Amino acid sequence: MAYPWHLYVMGAIYIIAGTLHFIKPKVYLRIMPRYLPFHKALVLLSGIAEIILGVGLFFKETKELAIYGIIAMLAVFLLVHFYMLSSEKASAGFPKWALLLRLPIQFALMYWAFTYLKV
């Protein structure tokens, strides 16, 4: 059975996002919550996770596990979103409205992944 084209779009988005952790790590280091240790390692590990989970969407054998992994990863990334709202320095220069908009987008991304459990 062929998957819908938008599942492949989702996979590509996570692969690209994960790759950016290696190309532009400073962007991600700037938004890491201060209370988390090993910032550089966490940025790289999260990039690897996004790449692996994105690729996992492309295969029947790993699709469901990748979906659950994406939902869990996005839930963990909420820490960063809330941290960025905590102060002007943590916001990395993003306007408050954009940071607030990211929260429902994060939940929408979780729901988008969840919808593929039925496919």
Q: What pLDDT, in 10s, does the model give residues 9-43? A: 999 999 999 999 999 999 899 889 988 999 999 99
Compute the average pLDDT of residues 108-114. 96
- Count of Cβ atoms closer than 10 Å to residue 65 Cβ: 13
Contact (Cβ atoms closer than 8 angstroms) between residue 16 and residue 55: no
Mark out the alpha helices in the chain (DSSP H runs): 5-23, 25-30, 39-56, 60-85, 96-115
Residue 1 in this model has a pLDDT that exceeds 70:
no
DSSP 4: P
Rounded to whole angstroms, what are the CA distances from 99 to 44, 60, 95, 104?
Answer: 23, 35, 7, 10
Range 96-115 burial, b when 16+ CB lie within 10 A, else e: eeebeebeeebeebbebbee
Please report, rounded to a whole number, the percentage of residues in the chain having pLDDT higher than 70: 98
Q: Is 80 exceeded by the pLDDT of residue 119?
A: no
What pLDDT does residue 89 have?
Answer: 82
Is the confidence at residue 52, as pLDDT, over 70?
Answer: yes
pTM: 0.91
**CA-CA distance, 43 to 77, in Å (whole number)?**
11
